[in-house]
Amino acid sequence: MDLYEKVAPIGEGTYGIVMKCRHKESGTIVAIKMFRESEAHEEIRKTALREVRMLKQLKHENIVNLLDVFRRKGKIYLVMEHVDHTILEDLEKSKTGLSDHREHGLARRYVWQLLRAMEYLHKNNVIHRDIKPENILVSTHGIIKLCDFGFARALAGTGAHYTDYVATRWYRSPELLVGDTEYGKPVDVWAIGCIFAEILTAQPLFPAISDIDQLYRIMKCCGNLPNRYLDCFQRNPHHKNNRIPEVGKIVPLESKCPGMSKTAMDWLRLCLIYESEQRATVTQLMEHPYFTEDQWSAQYEVELQKIFENIALPPLRRKPRTDEREKAKPSESDRVKHLDSKSTLAGAAKKWYATNPLLGGKKRSADKEKEKEKLGLPKIMNGHNVLPVQGHYNLNTHAHAGY
């Protein structure tokens, strides 16, 4: 942290605190995630390393950039690009949700970019497992950045089992709630559907206070659970003393999302299908008329690419500009002078070495010896130089003992 100056806290979660910081050398504003416990704590260590591994591998315009990683006193620090705010902050300022206007609304633009990030993850066989408004960042340019990859993981082969204790409760899919450990990409799609409804209404779709309450609210809107989920629930030791709640009369999804267009409602229903195998994929959601009607998605992609081209990630350490580097290069005349001076110096040194008996030079003439006597240089006696100074010396090396 010696390279950074703390500016202000951004937020905190179960595993760490995120601080807004300034890089002292370059002045770049960054976000630094500081994990609460020492990395010796196994769960914290695993989460930190998983996030580092994922962010190093995943590079996309709609995924937050990891700039640096370092350790201090046993703790892991993640340095990431700073992004202005979260979608949650936008929703907290709005009483009715974000506009869905095709030309000027933000809802469609934000969800499209979230889908771009998720399509990239799923094509790389990675699931996020914790999509929620707090983890969706919004830049000053209106660019969405998905963050917090502590629960993300690469999918293994068919039949692989994963922990069911992931995702924030309000955005947790039914298969996770009942304890099914053979899940996959559809858990992210369910969360995207919940967030879509929240973006358009400014209200969470299923705001429960427990897992059982969460199941109740989902069933109240979507109907009874499939038999496979009921079996998972009954086998789950965490639900040993619980039972599936009775829901009574169904409350239509439309009543929870007043004012939503038919096209948007159809899109939402594709995200909230009980059977995960029948739930829409991210690519299918991007190809839905909600986005493709009147070539909206194609036109918006052109707009996005222009924004991406004009945005450059600032470096942590300032590098000289190209013109500065060119000016710093020596000219051809400078190089010639440098070589000439090196040659002159080398010649003088070689001549001096050859005539200096202290450095092994040989006697050339009587005149040379007389010149050395005038200069006070040592004479040659019995093969050794006798130095005209006091002290204890090594005659073979002409060096002061212990020097």
Same domain, 105 and 230: yes
123 and 198 fall within a common domain:
yes
pTM given for the model:
0.76
Catalytic residue among 90, 100, 130, 211: 130
Q: Decide: helix, strand or coil at residue 10.
A: strand
**Cα–Cα distance measured from residue 346 to residue 357, given in angstroms and rounded to the nearest whole number:** 19
> In this predicted structure, which of 197-211, 272-286, 350-364 has the lowest mean pLDDT?
350-364
Asked if the structure places residue 317 within a domain, the reply is no
| Same domain membership, residue 303 and residue 265 | yes
Boundary of a domain, candidates 82, 113, 136:
82
Residues 262 and 134 placed together within one structural domain of the fold:
yes
**Domain end (from 82, 115, 150):** 82
Same domain, 110 and 22: no
Residues 164 and 305 in one domain: yes
Higher pLDDT, 396 or 213: 213
Shared-domain flag, residues 102 and 244: yes
**What is the reported pLDDT for 339?**
54
Residue 391 has pLDDT above 50, yes or no: no
Rounded to the nearest 10°, the torsion over CA 193, 199, 203, 207 is: 30
202 inside domain: yes
Mean pLDDT (the chain) is 82
| Cα angle, residue 145 at apex, residues 296 and 160 outer, rounded to 5° | 100
- pLDDT, residue 337, reads 56
AA identity, residue 357:
P
Chosen domain end from 56, 82, 108 = 82
CA 368 – CA 365 distance, rounded (Å): 5
373 domain residue, yes or no: yes
Decide if 130 is catalytic.
Answer: yes
Q: Are 234 and 374 in the same domain? A: no
Strand partners, 21: 6, 30
Q: How far apart are CA 107 and CA 357, in angstroms?
A: 88
Residue 289 has pLDDT above 90, yes or no: yes
Give me the DSSP letters along 197-219: HHHHHSS-SS--SSHHHHHHHHH
How many structural domains does the chain have? 3
Q: Let me know whether 348 and 379 are in one domain.
A: yes
Residues 96, 71 share a domain: no
| CATH number of the domain to which 136 belongs | 1.10.510.10
- The pLDDT tens digits for 78-132 are 999 999 999 999 999 988 999 999 888 999 999 999 999 999 999 999 999 999 9
Contact (Cβ atoms closer than 8 angstroms) between residue 63 and residue 113? no
Q: Which domain holds residue 269?
A: 84-310
Q: Is residue 324 part of a domain?
A: no
Does residue 385 share a domain with residue 264? no
Task: Report pLDDT digits (tens) over 300-330.
Answer: 999 999 999 988 766 665 444 455 455 555 5
- Res 227 pLDDT > 60: yes
Where residue 45 sits, what CATH number does that domain have?
A: 3.30.200.20
Q: Within this chain, do residues 140 and 72 fall inside the same structural domain, yes or no? A: no
pLDDT of residue 136: 97
Looking at 81-85, 90-94, 181-185, 369-373, which range is the least confident one?
369-373
**How distant, in Å, are the alpha carbons of 119, 190, 218, 267, 278 from that of 284?**
10, 14, 23, 10, 12
- pLDDT tens per residue, range 228-259: 999 999 998 888 888 888 898 999 999 999 98
